[in-house]
Amino acid sequence: MDKLGITEENWNQFIKWLWDFIPGAVSAILILFIGLWVIKIFTRMLRKFFKKKDYDETLEKFLYDLISMGLKVLLIVLVITQLGVQSSSLVAILGAAGLAVGLALQGSLANFAGGVLILFFKPFKIDDFISAQGIEGTVKEISIFTTKLNTFGNQLAIIPNGKLSNDNIINYSVEGKRRDKIDIGISYDSTIKTAKEVLLNLINEQEQVIQDPIPVVVVSELGDSAITLSLRYWALNEHFWDIHFYTLEEAKKRLEAAGISIPFPQTDIHIFHKDTKKEKK
């Protein structure tokens, strides 16, 4: 026994363990370096494959990161197993850790699942104008957890993918064209036929308005103070708002020039006076 209290038998056991451990450690190190080299080559080939197929950029990044991470986790499991750790014990530990992390990050996992659904089913893409969760804007970025919208006021709106994938989404860009409906009220004293002609002439003289199907003007409501005419036409997305705002402004000018008034809500008040003399008798 030496000064540290280690017996010759302990030394022999340590040396035997060391000789048994060294081959496994060397093998584990070789597997680690060779595995990282193979993963690097494979992921490089995978990136080239994605470029040739011209997939969505966000989907490419997600799949690339997922495959790369999965291969690295598999490599770590192989290395640890080579060091003598039982694979069944390792799987149990990983399973327990995964369960704990999953319970702690339920909201993040819901957003992750929502991001996967959005990337695969593609209800919208970058530069689409959408309405979702009470927000309207142009899609700026689709990540695995959130979607970023640039609103009309140039504000950045960040929506969690979990809510986005489980609620209604209106995509204004996907069809390439939109149908507008402009409601204009005219007085009951005005001639409906004349008002229709003015509005149709206004919309038909604009070259950017689609003529198939043709624009129409219909009576949509007989209100308390006005007859509501509904002007309906189709336009490409890039021309939609220019036509809409121009038509609103010009409609008022031309209707007034044609002698057709656009009324405002009115209330008639009738006042009755009582005869006080008769009441006294």
Residue 72 carries which side chain, given as an amino acid letter? K
139 close to 113: Cβ distance less than 8 angstroms: no
Q: Is the pLDDT of residue 105 over 50?
A: no
* Whole-number pLDDT of residue 183: 95
**Residue 28 Cα distances to 41, 70, 77, 78, 164, angstroms:** 20, 18, 10, 8, 44
Give the closest residue to 235 by CA, choosing from 160, 170, 182: 182
CA dist., res. 69 & res. 64, Å (int): 8
Walk me through the domains of the chain, giving residue ranges and CATH numbers.
Answer: 8-104 (1.10.287.1260), 121-171 (2.30.30.60), 177-257 (3.30.70.100)
What is the model's pLDDT at position 10?
Answer: 62
For the chain, percent of residues with pLDDT exceeding 90: 39
> Can you give the length of the chain in residues?
281
Q: Do 184 and 251 touch, CB atoms closer than 8 A? A: yes
Average pLDDT (232-261) is: 94
Lowest mean pLDDT among 77-91, 94-108, 157-171, 211-225: 94-108
